[in-house]
Amino acid sequence: MYMQGLANFIDDFLGGLILICYALVVGSVLWRAVILRRRADHPVADQAILRSTIGILRSGSIALAALQGTKLVIKGMVLWGVLGELPMADYIGTVQFQAGLARFVLALGIAWLSGRLLLEPENRSLWIWLGALCLPMVVAGAWLVHAVGRFEHREPLMLLTILHQFAAAVWFGGVAQLVALWRLGNTEESARKFWPFAVVRFGILGIGSVALLLLTGLPLAITYVDSWSGLFGTGYGSLLITKVLLLVIALGFAFMNHLAGRRWRISGESGDIKRKVPYFIEAEAFILVGILFVAATLSSQPPSEDIAGNPELTATIPEVVEMFTPRIPRITSPSHEDLIAGEAGRVAVVKKIPSVAAKEWSDYNHNISGMFLTVMGIIAMLSYVQSPGFRWANYWPLGFVGLSIFLFFRSDAETWPLGPIGFWESTFKNGEVFQHRIATTLAMVLGILEVRARTGISSQRMKYMFPILCAFGGILLLTHAHAEFELKTEYLIQSTHVTMGLLAVMMAAGRWLELRLEPVDGTLQNTAFLSTGRIAGLLAILSMFLIGNIMMYYLEPLV
Amino acid sequence: MKRPLHMVLHSTAVAVLTTGLMVVPVQSAFGHAVVTESSLSKEPVKASHATKVVLFFNSNVELSLSKVFWVSEGDVYHPADIARGKKPGELHIKLPPLESGDYAIKYKVFAADGHLTESTIRFHVAP
């Protein structure tokens, strides 16, 4: 079980990274073919722009090869660990291994070709070869998705899934290229000139990729979810809802960029396209990264269709609502002795006895953590009041430091420092403990960095660590494993954690935008009260407040 | 009879995916495995009789990369023989004659998407 938790987590995490790298590769090739194509009345993408494009393509392909290779090795190690042996011939014979190996080799080939392209960026035949290698890499993905295991409609579902992946890759890869082009504009005049043209051209490509995403995503969703109970009562369904919500936010950013591009095209007004669009695109990238991780996590969930009719595997809508219903938080904890006494029964295979103490221990941890975040959220909102009397409120991130100390002692009572299982053993043999340890460290670092940023003593670069770490925390929550629970219980817990993950990604995007659009010093001084940056910052704080509320009312199912 | 739209979609899919054959040879494939049906719910295990438990997964499982145990009281693990059934996703587990009491089946199965699914089914053997 513990190994499965760790394996699922690594699978989902690597899966998300692989999707990102895949998108960088595929999106960059399309970027070159469509956005950088020569047009008579447009400025030409010169060698600097081409090299920047190829640089991303090359980095993406090298990382893709490395991650895909790592995944194959880790999977073998996990199999070895769980089965006690590794039948190598059987493992190599699996479709998973062969498709993964194919993608690994093709990614290496693309990396080599892009290295050549860096020397000859305009060599047409090299680009054609590169496109030719990308095609089987995209198709190989068909053997790495859910659809390959279906008994019915297998091939159509495989095709729809790779088209869906392709569309997402074009979108994310293009957004990454836009971010790189804007940064290149700091040093290259040609990039500055090309920027508005690229935004407008990408708007058209983006609409096409979104249309393809929806056209392929809808039949996939209908097939895999099949019912309302499947949508609201299973892990697969809840992740799909999260993915759709993130998609709507990303589309919102894309729409604003599109409008700015249109204004520029019609009137030549370039204010927003240079002042706001670059930062909206960065925030969009945060959201898209979240979507790709959700997509990777989806692939580790059984499709709702397969379990929706089984009351032991799916939750009812009232049961899900109950998880989010406000109630008086638990502020007393069972003793450590009571908790340990119930552990033997809780983890027994044959005569499993649910532990009330373990449930209450977890409720207490979540509820107190929620109170930390809720209070921090309220104080953070006060910090936006433009009065010297509220300067003290800028120290609200110190609550993260307190939270991390609390989590360190309370997260996993059966492990060090309170329990008998050693630090290293628990950290690296249990996926859930591993994630808790990361979250604890993350909270501590977040607190220190953000206090420095909010009080104006942080360096310019370090300020951006908070939204980056927030996004990482959100991704952890989106891929959070509770493998020792049964499927229904796992889902009920997941429903809250996924919602918090969604809010954490929104928090990251909001704070990032605030820092980018309020370039004073990040401390909210001398800015208009309802500027775009402030609204984004307040939305980030509201997201944290909502995360606090969800945790404050969290009630773990008794199993 | 297959509907025309489905046939068109199916044919198109097969045609496109055929290009992938250059890269990945098609074999028996499988997906994330969850037990959707179990013979234990219909035919309880009788004491002192060898029993064949049938599990239906939502996808095929790779037998050579899977392990199943029957677990007796005190969480003592015993390897169980497994075999593929006739229907897709059907797995047969051979249990020896058991005395009355509480038991569990613990399975670790490898699915097509590379996910290792590990779960437990508890059951009671009546006298």
pLDDT in tens, A95-107: 889 999 999 999 9
Query: Per-residue pLDDT averaged across A237-251, rounded?
Result: 94
- Comparing CA positions, the residue from A163, A73, A92 lying closest to residue B24 is A92
Q: Which sign, positive or negative, has the C-alpha torsion B6, B11, B14, B19?
A: negative
Q: Taking CB atoms and an 8 Å cutoff, what residues of chain B touch A300? A: 32, 113, 115
Nearest to B52 by CA among B28, B86, B101: B86
Mean pLDDT, chain A, integer:
88
Select the more confidently predicted residue: A404 or A308. Answer: A404
Report helix, strand and coil shares of chain B as percent, to nearest 5: 20, 40, 40
Which residue from B103, B112, B119 is facing A95, i.e. has the nearest CB? B112
Cβ within 8 Å, pair A83-B65: yes
Give helix A356-382 / helix A398-410 axis angle, nearest 10°. Answer: 170
- In tens, the pLDDT along A438-458 reads 878 888 988 998 999 888 887
Confidence tier at A313 by pLDDT (50, 70, 90): confident
- Chain B residue numbers with beta carbons less than 8 Å from the beta carbon of A84 are 67
What count of CB pairs under 8 Å joins A to B? 160
Give residue for tokens 């993905």.
Answer: A141
Is there a contact between B102 and B96 (Cβ–Cβ < 8 Å)?
A: no
Strand pairing class (B67-72; B81-84):
unpaired
CA distance B90 to B38: 10
Give A39's pLDDT tier (boundaries 50, 70, 90): confident
Record the tokens describing residue A248, joined without a space: 């709507």
Grade residue A377 by pLDDT with cuts at 50, 70 and 90. very high
**Model pLDDT, residue A485:** 53
| Chain A residue numbers touching B67 (CB-CB < 8 A) | 82-84
Rounded to whole angstroms, what are the CA distances from A477 to A371, A497, A499?
18, 6, 9
| Cross-chain residue pair A96–B102, CB shorter than 8 Å | no
3-class SS of residue B113: coil
Q: Report CA A468 to chain centroid distance, whole Å.
A: 11
The pLDDT score that the predictor gives to residue A4 is 55
Residue A378 pLDDT more than 90?
A: yes
Residues of B in contact with A486 (CB under 8 A): 119
Degrees (nearest 5) of the Cα angle A198, A201, A207? 130
Q: Measure B55 CA to nearest chain A CA, in Å.
A: 14
What token pair was written down for A523?
């401390």
Q: Please name the amino acid found at residue A300.
A: S
Q: Between the CA of residue A250 and those of A56, A169, A470, what are the distances in Å?
A: 22, 14, 17
Distances (CA, A) of B81 to A90, B86, B112: 18, 16, 21
Q: What per-residue confidence (pLDDT) applies to A513? A: 93
pLDDT of residue A32: 95
Least confident of A191-205, A248-262, B22-36: B22-36
What DSSP string describes B37-106? EEGGGTSPPBTTS-EEEEEEESS---GGG-EEEEEETTTEEEE-EEEE-SSTTEEEEEE----SEEEEEE
Query: Which residue reads 């998407």 in tokens?
Result: B113
- Whether A437 has its CB under 8 Å from any CB of chain B: the answer is no
Task: Say what the pLDDT of residue A553 is.
Answer: 95
Angle between helices A431-454 and A398-410 (to 10 degrees): 160
Q: What six digits make up the tokens of A144?
A: 């790495």
How far is Cα A15 from Cα A11, in angstroms, rounded to an integer? 6
Q: Is residue A520 pLDDT above 70, yes or no?
A: no
**Which residues on B lie below 8 Å from A100 (Cβ)?**
114
The whole-number pLDDT of residue A346 equals 86
Chain A segment 155-174 residues within 8 A of B by beta carbon are: 155-156, 158-159
Q: Does residue A214 come out as left (phi exceeding 0), alpha (psi in the -120 to 50 range) or beta?
A: alpha
B57 contacts B34 by C-beta, under 8 angstroms: yes
Residue B22 and residue A132: Cα distance in Å, rounded?
13
Q: Read off the pLDDT of residues A139-197 as tens digits, 9 standing for 90 and up.
A: 998 888 878 878 888 899 999 999 999 999 999 999 999 999 999 999 999 999 999 99
User: Tens digits of per-residue pLDDT, A67-103?
Assistant: 999 999 988 888 888 788 888 999 999 888 999 999 9
A251: part of which helix (H) or strand (E)? helix A235-267
Q: Strand pairing partners for B72? A: B76
Instruction: Output the pTM of the full model.
Output: 0.86
Mean predicted confidence (pLDDT) in A191-218:
93
Please enumerate in sequence order all residues whose Cβ is within 8 A of that of A314, keeping only pairs 6 or more positions apart, or say none.
Answer: A229, A230, A233, A234, A304, A307, A308, A487, A488, A491
Structure confidence by residue, pLDDT tens digits, A178-193: 999 999 999 999 999 9
- In this prediction, residue A331 carries a pLDDT of 94
Q: Which range is least confidently modeled, A26-30, A432-436, A508-512, B41-45?
A: A432-436
Question: Considering chain A, what percentage of its residues have pLDDT values greater than 70?
Answer: 95
| Residue A359, token pair as written in the block | 């449930």
pLDDT at residue A271, as a whole number:
77
Q: Does A128 touch chain B (CB under 8 A)?
A: no
Are the Cβ atoms of A159 and B12 closer than 8 angstroms?
yes
Cα(A457)–Cα(B80) distance, rounded to whole angstroms? 64
d(CA A510, CA A444): 21
pLDDT for A177: 97
Query: Is the pLDDT higher at A428 or at A194?
Result: A194
Give the A window 337-366 contacts with B, CB below 8 Å: 348-352
Average pLDDT over residues A39-64: 91
Q: What is the pLDDT of residue A145?
A: 84
Weakly modelled stretches of chain B, pLDDT under 70: 1-32, 112-113
SS3 sequence of A130-167: HHHHHHHHHHHHHHHCHHHHCCCCHHHHHHHHHHHHHH
Kindly determine whether residue B24 and residue A1, on different chains, have CB atoms separated by under 8 Å: no
Please tell me which residue, A421 or A282, carries the higher pLDDT value: A282
Higher local confidence (pLDDT), A419 or A126: A126
pLDDT band at A528 (very low <50, low <70, confident <90, very high): low
